[in-house]
Amino acid sequence: MINVLIVEDDPMVVELNKCYVEQVESFQCIGSASSIKEAIEFLEHNHIQLILLDIYMRGETGFELAAYLREKGMDIDIIFITAARDTSNLRKAIQYGAMDYIMKPFSFERFKKSLLRYAKQIELIQQKNTLNQNEIDTMLFTKDRGGTSVELPKGLTTHTLQLIWERIKSMEGRIFSTEELVTTLHLSRVSIRKYLNFMEDLGVIEGQIEYGTVGRPVRKHRYRQDKEEMMNEYL
């Protein structure tokens, strides 16, 4: 197994990344840190092979941790996961030897490809003492950087859609209500309702009305696994 540390100061993003890591074969998240100090302390007591590293955190940057790793000669790889889109940050990440640079918001498919590509590189390095040019090209370059996402309706964002979608999938087909998502995701009912309407129109969830003995009827939903692929082009 490849041990992963997530260094990110947004708790919601940490949970999303943890969920993603655990879905990729041969990877396990064994911890998270919300600051460079926490990350260094964790690394002193745990064996880590890969760090998923944000660039901008409260009062510091992920490059400080990257510099520390290089200064100490620690054999730990980095994949930057960040909202930073400027070329100067990308160039700096490359200079620190980043294995990949994933921009928020991102889809699970893009994330998964990055981790699987990394695992393939590590496996190839461990199996051979020398490489030919084709093998090096396979390791360092790839034409497949993920597909082009379809634009979402106005008012919806990929990041929020991803959070809601992952929560719905985690229910494994169980019927759920809007209020349940409001409670667990801490988003407004109006906002979640817009995303559920979009998913229902798309056909990836189905709705039904439940009538109780008292009070107003409640609209509930169920995830349709057979339609899951339809979401990939929006994430």
Among residues 109, 140, 171, the one where a domain terminates is 140
Sign of CA dihedral 41, 46, 47, 48: negative
Position 153 in a domain = no
Class of residue 36 by CB neighbours under 10 A (exposed 0-12, middle 13-18, buried 19+): buried
pLDDT computed for residue 148 by the predictor: 44
Position 151 in a domain = no
pLDDT tens digits for the chain (235 residues)?
A: 999 999 999 999 999 999 999 999 999 999 999 999 999 999 999 999 999 999 999 999 999 999 999 999 999 999 999 988 888 899 999 999 999 999 888 888 889 989 998 998 888 777 777 777 766 766 665 544 444 456 778 888 888 898 899 889 888 888 999 999 999 898 899 999 999 988 988 888 988 888 766 667 788 998 888 777 777 767 7
| Structural domain range at position 191 | 158-232
Claim to verify: residue 42 and residue 135 sit in the same structural domain: yes
Among residues 113, 140, 167, the one where a domain terminates is 140
Claim to verify: residue 16 and residue 54 sit in the same structural domain: yes
The C-alpha angle 95, 96, 100, rounded to 5 degrees, equals 95
Count of domains for the chain: 2
Position 149 in a domain = no
Claim to verify: residue 120 and residue 42 sit in the same structural domain: yes
Among residues 140, 174, 200, the one where a domain terminates is 140
Q: Domain with 198 in it: what CATH number?
A: 1.10.10.10
Which residues lie below 8 Å from residue 113, measured CB to CB, with a gap of 6+? 144, 145, 146
Q: Domain with 63 in it: what CATH number?
A: 3.40.50.2300
DSSP labels for 75-122?
A: --EEEEEES---HHHHHHHHHTT-SEEEESS--HHHHHHHHHHHHHHH
Position 28 in a domain = yes
Claim to verify: residue 207 and residue 129 sit in the same structural domain: no
Position 110 in a domain = yes
Which residues lie below 8 Å from residue 5, measured CB to CB, with a gap of 6+? 29, 30, 31, 32, 33, 39, 42, 43, 46, 48, 50, 51, 52
d(CA 219, CA 229): 24
Position 123 in a domain = yes
Q: Model confidence over 4-47: pLDDT tens digits? A: 999 999 999 999 999 999 999 999 999 999 999 999 999 999 99
Claim to verify: residue 135 and residue 164 sit in the same structural domain: no
Claim to verify: residue 93 and residue 15 sit in the same structural domain: yes
